[in-house]
Amino acid sequence: MNTPPLYRQLANHYLDAIRSGTLKTGERLPSIRLMMEKHAVSLSTAVQVCRELEDYGVLEARPRSGNYIRQPDSAPKPAPALAPALDTSLYAGIHEQVCAVLKASQHSTIKVNFASAYCAPELYPLKTLQDNMIKTMRSDAYLLGAAGSTCGNGALRNILARRALASKTHLAPERIVITNGATEAINLALRAVTRPGDTVAVESPTFYGLLQILESLNLRVLEVPASAHTGLNLAALQLLLQGPERIKALIVVPNLQNPLGSIMPDANKARLVKLCAEHNTVLIEDDTYGDLVDSEQPLSTLKHWDRTDNVIYCASLNKTLAPGMRLGWISAGKWHDRVEMLKHTQSRGCEVLSQLAVSEFMRTPSYERYLRRLRKTLTVQREQMSTAISRYFPIGTSVTHPQGGTLLWVELPRRHSSMVFFQEALKVGIQISPGDIFSNANRFDHFVRIGCGAPYSPRIDEALQTLGRILKNQG
Amino acid sequence: MNTPPLYRQLANHYLDAIRSGTLKTGERLPSIRLMMEKHAVSLSTAVQVCRELEDYGVLEARPRSGNYIRQPDSAPKPAPALAPALDTSLYAGIHEQVCAVLKASQHSTIKVNFASAYCAPELYPLKTLQDNMIKTMRSDAYLLGAAGSTCGNGALRNILARRALASKTHLAPERIVITNGATEAINLALRAVTRPGDTVAVESPTFYGLLQILESLNLRVLEVPASAHTGLNLAALQLLLQGPERIKALIVVPNLQNPLGSIMPDANKARLVKLCAEHNTVLIEDDTYGDLVDSEQPLSTLKHWDRTDNVIYCASLNKTLAPGMRLGWISAGKWHDRVEMLKHTQSRGCEVLSQLAVSEFMRTPSYERYLRRLRKTLTVQREQMSTAISRYFPIGTSVTHPQGGTLLWVELPRRHSSMVFFQEALKVGIQISPGDIFSNANRFDHFVRIGCGAPYSPRIDEALQTLGRILKNQG
C-alpha cells in the first residue's frame, strides 16, 4: 500500500484530534499560515487539509474569521482502501472519470437529459440561421471552394467587437480570432501562455471540460474555492498567489459560472484583475454565459477592468445561439500573434459559411430581441425546475438561485453520493451531472448539476419526482 | 559575431580542402560514418555537412557508392555575413519566415496565384455540395441546435473506411476521428505521440505548414532527403535511425508529396513501415493528395503495409473536394483513445452539417466520376504549365513531372535566389512559393513551387512569361 499523500496524513492527524476531543466543537483550527509554519508544508497542502476536513463535515469556514470545528453531519466517511499515489488536487486526472460518466450516458437510453448546459434546440433561432446559410451560399457559389483566413471572417469579428462595447469591453476586431467554440479558445490561450508542468488555477467547482483541457496540456491544477453568490474567493486566491507555487494563469468564468451560476460583483472583478497583474498571473476569462443574464443591463467583463493587457478574453456562441455551429472567439491582447500562430498550426481558420450566416443575424435588431426572449424563457424554466427540486428532493437539499443561464447547482444532504445517484438515475433513463467531475479533489461528492435548458413539461416534472424518489430510497 | 555551427565549420574545412586541391574532383569524400568517427560529430551533423557541400555544388551523391567531389557549377556562394546561432536544421524556426512570405502576399494585389495547392474553385463540385447542405438542413430543422460528437459523424466515418478499402487499407470506422483538415489531424497525431523537445523527422523538402506545426509544438526537426522520383531516401533515413538521436516520429507524404509530387514505390513503402517499426519510431502518414493520382488504380498507403499498428493515418478532403469545408480525418490505431481525448479538449467534434453533405455526395457513384474528371483535368493543366515553364524560364531550369496532383517543383539555375524571385514576382501581382520555406536548412534557395490548380489560360501564360522575364533579367 502506498503512503497517503501529505495532506491526507495531516487531515487524519486533525481528525484524530477532533475525535479524541483534543480539538472541541466551536474551537478554531490553526490558520492556514500557522499550519504551514507548524507542519512545514506548502500552501496548497494546508489548503487541501482544510478542504479534506470540510469534506468530513467537521470544519466550518466563517468569513473573515477562520475555520472552526463543528459537529459532523453524520458519521465520517471511511478512508479509501487505497490512498492514491498522487495528490489529485494538484494534477488534473479527471479525464478518465469524466469519460466514464459521459460514456455511461452514451450507452444508456436517455429519456430526460438534465446533464446538458445547452438550451433545448427549439429555443435557438435555427430557422433564421438556416435561411441565412442558404442565402449566403446562393450569393457566393464559390464559398465552399476556398479556405477562410486563420483569424476568421472580418464581418463577424467586427460585430463581436461592437457588441463587446455594450459591456464596456474594448476588443480590437483585428485582434480577435474566431475559434471552434470556447474550448478551442481556452486551449489556445493556455498553449500561448503556459508550458507543460506549469500550474494553472481554476475556480472550484469548475466545469469539468476545463479540467480535461488542463490535463491534456499536462498542466498542474490548483483549485480556488468559489461561492454561488460572488464567485471566486479572492482571499483564498490571494493566499495562493502569495504562496511558494508560481501560478502561471488563472481561468475564471466571472459571469454565470458553470456550475455555480455566480456573478462576480464589479468590485471583485476589478480587484481580481489587479491581483493577477500584480502577481504576473495571466487571467483567462471565459465569458460564454454572460449574455444569458436575466437583467437587460449587460454584465461587465474582467477585460473591462484590464489596464495592463493581462486578460485574455474568450467567449462562445454555443450556448446563446447555435451549439451546432461551434463558433467561439478569443481576444488575446499582447499574445495575439502567438495565438494566431497556434490557431493556424492547430486547425487553420474556421469554416466561413456559419460565420457569415451568424453575422447576418447578429447585425440586425432581431438578435437583441431574440436574446431578451431567451433570457425570459430561461428565468421561467429555472424557477420551475428549482421549485420542483425543492418539492421532490429530500429535506436538507439546497439549490442555487443564479441570476441567469441554464444551470442549477444542487447540494444534497451529505449522506448522498452523487456518483451513486448518477448511476441510479441512468438506470431509469435520466441523465444528470454528478458533482464529482467538477473538481479533481472529490470536493463535490454530494452535489449535482441540473440543466434547465428545456421548457418545463409533465415529462420533466415526472423525471424530477423520480430523482427525488431515488434519493429518498437511498435513505 | 557568433561561432558558426559545427556543421558549417566542418563544411568550411572540406571546402578549403577542395579549393586548395587537397581533395580533387572525382575523389571520394569520407563516408558519413567515417566523418562521424574522425570528427567525433553526431550523425545529423555529418549529414548536414554533406548537404552543405551539395549546396555549394562541390559534391555529387552516387547511389550505392558514396559522395564524390565534383567541379562546382559556378563560384561558391559567399558565406553568410552572420552565421546563425542555432543549427537551423535541428530546430524548426520557419514560422516567422513563412508568415513574412504569406503576409507579403496578403498585402499585395495578387493577379495570378501560383502559390496555392488547391484546385481552382470551379473544379470542385460546389453546386452539388451546396444542394446537399440545403437538403440536409431542410430534413433536420434542429441540426444547428446540437453539438456533434467528438469523433465525428458516423455515416462519414463509414464511407471513409469503405473508400480506404480500395487502397487495401483497413481503417475501423469507430477508430476514425473527423478533424479540421489534415492540419488538425497531424497536430493531434504529434500531440498524442510526442512531448516538447522530442525529435521528429520529415521529408526534405517538405510542406512548410508541417514545419510550422512542429515549431508550434516545440519539436526538434530532422530533415531526411527525398527525391522527386521515389520520395523519402530510405538509406538516409536508416542512417539517421541508427544514429544517436532518438527519432520519436516521422511524418511522410507517400503519395504525391508536397512539393515534390513523388510517389513512393510499394517496395519502399513496405520497407519504410518495417524500418520505423523496428526503431520504434511512430510513422505519421499524410495521404491528403493520394486521390489526385493520374492512374485509375488507387495508390497503396503506408497503413496498408502496417503490421504492428505503428502507422497513424491522416488525410483530408481539402484538396480533393472542398477547401471551404475543412474536413480531414485521422485513424490513430492504438493511440485512438488519446487522440479522441485531445480532439475533445482541443476543439470538440467538428460541425455536423458539412460532414452530412459530404457523406451524401461520397456515397454516390458521382463521387468517383467527379474524381476521374478532376484527375484528367489536372493532368492537362500540369502538362500545359510544365511546357510553358520549360519554354519561358532560363536554360538550366528543371521541372518535376509528378504523376498526379496540383504541384510542380521547379529548380532554377543556382545563381537565382527564390526569395528575390518571390519579391520581384509579387511586385507585378504574381504569387509563387519560394523554395526557402520548404526546409529549415535553407536547402532550397533556388527552387520554387508552382501550383497548377487553375485551368490554363492566356492570363496564366502571360504570367509565366513574366516570371521567365524576371529570371532572365536577374542574369
**For an interface test with A, which of B149, B320, B335, B346 has the most A Cβ atoms less than 10 Å from its Cβ?**
B346
β-pairing verdict for A199-204 and A247-252: parallel
Whether B127 and A141 lie within 8 Å, measured CB to CB:
yes
**What is the CATH classification number for the domain harbouring A36?**
1.10.10.10
Instruction: Enumerate the residues of chain B whose CB falls inside 8 A of the CB of residue A184.
Output: 346-348
Domain termination site, one of A366, A382, A407: A366
**For an interface test with A, which of B187, B345, B353, B355 has the most A Cβ atoms less than 10 Å from its Cβ?**
B345
Of B126, B148, B212, nearest to A344 by CB-CB distance is: B212
| Nearest residue of B to residue A145, measured between CA atoms | B121
A361 & A383 share domain: no
What distance lies between CA B187 and its chain's CA centroid?
15
Whether B121 and A129 lie within 8 Å, measured CB to CB:
no
Q: Is the pLDDT of residue A292 over 60?
A: yes
Q: Is the pLDDT of residue A336 over 50?
A: yes
Grid coordinates representing A190? Answer: 493556455
Q: Is the pLDDT of residue B214 over 70?
A: yes
Domain termination site, one of A29, A52, A69: A69
pLDDT confidence of residue A4: 64
For B387, the 3-state DSSP assignment is helix
Whether A341 and B142 lie within 8 Å, measured CB to CB:
no
B325 & B450 share domain: no
Whether A346 and B184 lie within 8 Å, measured CB to CB:
yes
Of A121, A129, A184, nearest to B346 by CB-CB distance is: A184
| Nearest residue of B to residue A195, measured between CA atoms | B196
B173 & B224 share domain: yes
Tell me if B408 is assigned to some domain: yes
Comparing CA positions, the residue from A465, A374, A475, A368 lying closest to residue A420 is A475
Q: Give the mean model confidence (pLDDT) for residues A145-172.
A: 95
Q: Give the mean model confidence (pLDDT) for residues B325-333.
A: 96
Whether A324 and B180 lie within 8 Å, measured CB to CB:
no
Is residue A180 within a helix (H) or strand (E), and if so which, with residue range? strand A176-180
Domain termination site, one of A307, A331, A366: A366
Whether A148 and B322 lie within 8 Å, measured CB to CB:
no
Grid coordinates representing B121? Answer: 474553385
Contacting residues for B291 by C-beta, under 8 A, at least 6 apart: B320, B371
Instruction: Enumerate the residues of chain B whose CB falls inside 8 A of the CB of residue A152.
Output: none
Instruction: Enumerate the residues of chain B whose CB falls inside 8 A of the CB of residue A127.
Output: 141
CA distance A250 to A285: 8
Q: Is the pLDDT of residue A90 over 60?
A: no
Whether A195 and B195 lie within 8 Å, measured CB to CB:
no
A157 & A53 share domain: no
Instruction: Write out the DSSP string of A229-254.
Output: TTEE-HHHHHHHHHSSS-EEEEEE--
B36 & B159 share domain: no
Of B124, B146, B326, nearest to A324 by CB-CB distance is: B146
| Nearest residue of B to residue A180, measured between CA atoms | B347
Whether A143 and B184 lie within 8 Å, measured CB to CB:
no
Burial class from Cβ neighbours inside 10 Å (0-12, 13-18, 19+) for residue A395 reads: exposed
Instruction: Enumerate the residues of chain B whose CB falls inside 8 A of the CB of residue A215.
Output: 345
Q: How confident is the model at residue B53 (pLDDT cuts 50, 70, 90)?
A: confident
Per DSSP, what are the bridge partners of residue A227? A231
Tell me if B1 is assigned to some domain: no
Q: Give the mean model confidence (pLDDT) for residues B49-70.
A: 73
What integer best gives the mean pLDDT of chain B? 90
Tell me if A260 is assigned to some domain: yes
Q: Is the pLDDT of residue B116 over 50?
A: yes
B112 & B170 share domain: no
Number of structural domains, chain B? 3
Q: CA geometry: angle at B26 spanning B25 and B27, to 5°? A: 95
Q: Give the mean model confidence (pLDDT) for residues B251-272.
A: 98
The shortest C-alpha distance from B84 to chain A (Å) reads: 23
CA distance B197 to B205: 22
Tell me if A78 is assigned to some domain: no
Whether B187 and A346 lie within 8 Å, measured CB to CB:
yes
| Nearest residue of A to residue B342, measured between CA atoms | A216
Instruction: Enumerate the residues of chain B whose CB falls inside 8 A of the CB of residue A324.
Output: 143-148, 351-353
pLDDT confidence of residue B4: 64
β-pairing verdict for A66-69 and A407-411: unpaired
Q: Give the mean model confidence (pLDDT) for residues A443-457.
A: 96
Q: How confident is the model at residue A79 (pLDDT cuts 50, 70, 90)?
A: very low
**For an interface test with A, which of B138, B144, B374 has the most A Cβ atoms less than 10 Å from its Cβ?**
B144
Interface A-B: count of C-beta contacts within 8 A: 166
Tell me if A82 is assigned to some domain: no
Residue % of chain A over a pLDDT of 90: 75
B152 & B54 share domain: no
Whether A137 and B134 lie within 8 Å, measured CB to CB:
yes
Instruction: Enumerate the residues of chain B whose CB falls inside 8 A of the CB of residue A138.
Output: 130
Q: Please, what is the end-to-end C-alpha distance for chain B in angstroms? A: 32
Q: Is the pLDDT of residue B47 over 80?
A: no
Q: Give the mean model confidence (pLDDT) for residues A85-111.
A: 70
**What is the CATH classification number for the domain harbouring B378?**
3.90.1150.10
CA distance A118 to B72: 68
Of B324, B345, B352, nearest to A144 by CB-CB distance is: B324
Q: Is the pLDDT of residue A7 over 80?
A: no
Q: Give the mean model confidence (pLDDT) for residues A255-265.
A: 98
**For an interface test with B, which of A144, A195, A343 has the most B Cβ atoms less than 10 Å from its Cβ?**
A144
Whether A145 and B122 lie within 8 Å, measured CB to CB:
yes
Whether A323 and B209 lie within 8 Å, measured CB to CB:
no
Of A134, A345, A349, nearest to B213 by CB-CB distance is: A345
Tell me if A83 is assigned to some domain: no
Greater pLDDT, A108 or A264: A264
CA distance A443 to A204: 8
Greater pLDDT, B367 or B44: B367
pLDDT confidence of residue B87: 36
Per DSSP, what are the bridge partners of residue A113? A431
Whether A216 and B184 lie within 8 Å, measured CB to CB:
no
For A270, the 3-state DSSP assignment is helix
CA distance A242 to B229: 62
| Nearest residue of B to residue A187, measured between CA atoms | B346
Residue % of chain B over a pLDDT of 70: 93
CA distance A284 to A206: 14
What distance lies between CA A289 and its chain's CA centroid?
10
B350 & B440 share domain: no
What integer best gives the mean pLDDT of chain A? 90
Q: Which of A27-31, A192-196, A235-239, B422-426 has the lowest mean pLDDT?
A: A27-31
Range ranked top by mean pLDDT from A64-68, A241-245, B49-53: A241-245
Q: Which of A19-23, B121-125, B131-135 has the lowest mean pLDDT?
A: A19-23
Instruction: Enumerate the residues of chain B whose CB falls inside 8 A of the CB of residue A134.
Output: 134, 137
Of A138, A213, A347, nearest to B345 by CB-CB distance is: A213
Q: How confident is the model at residue A91 (pLDDT cuts 50, 70, 90)?
A: very low
Of B145, B184, B212, nearest to A347 by CB-CB distance is: B184
A403 & A308 share domain: no
Of A134, A184, A324, nearest to B134 by CB-CB distance is: A134
Q: Give the mean model confidence (pLDDT) for residues A216-237.
A: 94
Whether B181 and A347 lie within 8 Å, measured CB to CB:
yes
Place of cell 441523465: A431
Q: Give the mean model confidence (pLDDT) for residues A334-342.
A: 94
Q: Is the pLDDT of residue A234 over 50?
A: yes
pLDDT confidence of residue A63: 56
Whether B133 and A137 lie within 8 Å, measured CB to CB:
yes
A313 & A325 share domain: yes
pLDDT confidence of residue B91: 46
**For an interface test with B, which of A119, A347, A350 has the most B Cβ atoms less than 10 Å from its Cβ?**
A347
Q: Is the pLDDT of residue A152 over 70?
A: yes
Comparing CA positions, the residue from A361, A455, A373 lying closest to residue A127 is A361
Grid coordinates representing B9? Answer: 565549420
pLDDT confidence of residue B138: 95
| Nearest residue of A to residue B132, measured between CA atoms | A134
Q: Is the pLDDT of residue A84 over 70?
A: no
The shortest C-alpha distance from B360 to chain A (Å) reads: 16
Instruction: Enumerate the residues of chain A whose CB falls inside 8 A of the CB of residue B132.
Output: none
B129 & B261 share domain: yes
pLDDT confidence of residue B27: 83
Tell me if A80 is assigned to some domain: no
Whether A124 and B145 lie within 8 Å, measured CB to CB:
yes
CA distance A429 to A109: 6
Tell me if A334 is assigned to some domain: yes
Q: What is the pLDDT of residues B273-322, one digit of tens each?
A: 999 999 999 999 999 999 999 998 999 999 999 999 999 999 999 999 99
pLDDT confidence of residue A82: 30
B130 & B113 share domain: no
Q: What is the pLDDT of residues B66-112, one digit of tens each?
A: 788 877 644 334 333 332 223 334 445 677 888 888 888 888 899 99
Domain of residue B30 covers 6-69
The shortest C-alpha distance from B370 to chain A (Å) reads: 15
**What is the CATH classification number for the domain harbouring B170?**
3.40.640.10
Q: How confident is the model at residue A300 (pLDDT cuts 50, 70, 90)?
A: very high
Q: Is the pLDDT of residue A214 over 90?
A: yes
